[in-house]
Amino acid sequence: MRHIVIVGSGPAGYYTAEAALKLWGDGVRVDIIDRLPVPYGLIRSGVAPDHQSIKGVTRRYEATASSDNVCFVGGVTLGRDATVAELQHLYDAVVLATGAPSDRPTGVPGGDLPGVIGSAAFVGWYNGHPDHAALAPPLIGAGAVIVGAGNVALDVARILAKTGEEFDGSDIAAHALGQLGRGGFETITILARRGPHQIAMTPKEMGELGHLARAAPVVDPADLPPVEDDAALDPGQRKSVALLREFAAQDEAKPVRILFDFYAVPLRIEGEDRVDRVIVERTRLDDVGQVVPTGETYEVPASLVVSCIGYRTPPIDGIPYDAKLGRFANDDGRIGPGLYTVGWARRGPTGTIGTNRPDGFAIIDHIAADLPAEGGKPGRAGLDALLAERGVEAVTFRDWRRIDQAEIAAARAGSPREKLVSIEALLAARA
Ligand code: NAP
């Protein structure tokens, strides 16, 4: 019997478990630890609440979770309830699938003013993550500025721009829906430090901006490169840029403007005791497409700044870490003997949910190649003993099913669920 523990129950964690089952069948026991009492990580807390079809992937993880050989061990915090070294002692392989839940710092003066929020916190807030449910971002005033030109920037712009009715069928947290309904910005500015050809926005997500009830995207035609240059782009990027061209050509006025400000980088964020404006510097690109500041600056009024410039994996004491890349130092997922990493914690915050599947299968191939012929580690029995010694009562998958049912039962009309947004409420719903 092989005993594998995976830390993190997001996509990378569940695909790794699926791969282990596929390879070893009844010859493996997989435990999936999570600090939260609920599984699925980024699917629950990161994927936008109005993208329910993407969240449907959890049905695949449920199939893995319902195997007798896979156990969800929720409410267990690495470092507090069990250390990596202890897990290495108990299991044949430890896989860190802890994702990238921290924001990359803005590095801009004024970036710590109230009203400047990282996307991890902002997305966690509207998705009802217990760490961020109490965020209460400023949602009214001079305008909102979003920094970054990736899909998270598009998610944040869309969530800020939608009407209450446009959230029908979503599982946006009730507190966020209420607060968004009481607020609203007339101008949402997306600051992209490079040009339309360098965006990291995919066509489906870009296209959604063109179909909002009260908001319209605004693109300055002067920012668009000559149309013939689009031929050099890959097909997905070409579609996104074609949408930008459509936005630039349309003159439909709506009450809310989502303004694409290309070649623009925040220089500093200013305000007395909270953000009031962003001082933006115009950029240009050099011959290899890198950003060059031009020295030209201007002011964008803002009472909310959401920085969507990527995420980092928090380091763990004693585990090799690449501070520059913001992830565990690893060689194709191998960190050290018996210790592996997968998903965003391995490669950084890139790719789609599906990218994590080959990642999970690859790491299981490495583990299979590295495992000694003889097992003999205690696995789950050892973990249970350790947690009992520390007075930690883990949350099981059966508990999660009860929480799930409670959330589904509490859903407002048309919504799939009403998320419980505190650890206490989640634990209480197990009963
Ligand atoms: P991302 O795709 O890496 O985009 C980050 C953006 O921030 C880039 O435009 C980058 O510009 C910019 N940036 C980085 N550092 C900056 C700085 N210091 N100042 C100004 N701009 C800066 O990251 P993301 O949007 O957080 O998305 C993470 C991953 O999740 C991506 O793979 C994304 O596709 C995926 N995702 C997918 C969906 C979906 O499929 N619906 C939704 C959300 C997220 P440069 O290019 O110049 O570096």
pLDDT in tens, 107-165: 999 999 999 999 999 999 999 999 999 999 999 998 999 999 999 999 999 999 999 99
Q: Mark out the alpha helices in 183-234 (DSSP H runs).
A: 203-208
DSSP 214: S
Nearest CA to ligand 1 atom 9: 149
Neighbours of 66 (CB within 10 A): 10
Residue among 108, 102, 55 at smallest CA distance from 280 = 108
Low-confidence ranges of the chain (pLDDT < 70): none
Q: Is residue 161 domain-shared with residue 248, that is, in the same domain?
A: yes
Q: Is residue 148 domain-shared with residue 204, that is, in the same domain?
A: yes
Residue among 202, 195, 149 at smallest CA distance from 291 = 195
The CATH number of the domain where 212 resides is what?
A: 3.50.50.60
CA of 199 to the centre of ligand 1 (A): 8
Q: Is residue 109 domain-shared with residue 245, that is, in the same domain?
A: yes
Give residue 375's pLDDT. Answer: 75
CA of 151 to the centre of ligand 1 (A): 6
Q: Is residue 274 domain-shared with residue 333, that is, in the same domain?
A: no
Give residue 35's pLDDT. Answer: 97
CA 187, 192, 195, 199 torsion: positive or negative?
negative
Q: Is residue 120 domain-shared with residue 187, that is, in the same domain?
A: yes
The domain of 67 spans 2-101+313-395
Give residue 260's pLDDT. Answer: 98
Give residue 201's pLDDT. Answer: 98
- For residue 409, give every residue at least 6 positions away whose Cβ sits within 8 Å of its Cβ, in sequence order, or none: none
Residues with CB under 6 Å of ligand 1 are 51, 147-153, 155, 193-194, 198, 200, 202, 205, 265, 308-310, 349-352
Tens digits of residue pLDDT in 212-224: 999 999 999 999 9
Q: Is residue 220 domain-shared with residue 267, that is, in the same domain?
A: yes
Nearest CA to ligand 1 atom 38: 151
Pocket test for ligand 1, best of 202, 309, 355 (most atoms within 8 A of CB): 309
DSSP-derived pairing of the beta strands 334-336 and 215-219? unpaired
Tens digits of residue pLDDT in 17-43: 999 999 999 999 999 999 999 999 999
| Angle at the Cα of 207 from the Cα atoms of 225 and 248, rounded to 5 degrees | 40
- For residue 391, give every residue at least 6 positions away whose Cβ sits within 8 Å of its Cβ, in sequence order, or none: none
Would residue 289 count as lying in a domain? Answer: yes
Atom of ligand 1 nearest to the CA of 351: 32
Q: Is residue 97 domain-shared with residue 150, that is, in the same domain?
A: no
Nearest CA to ligand 1 atom 42: 151
Q: Is residue 323 domain-shared with residue 296, that is, in the same domain?
A: no
Would residue 430 count as lying in a domain? Answer: no
**What is the residue whose two structure tokens read 């478990």?**
17
Helix (H) or strand (E) holding 256, with range, is strand 256-261
Nearest CA to ligand 1 atom 15: 309
CA of 157 to the centre of ligand 1 (A): 13
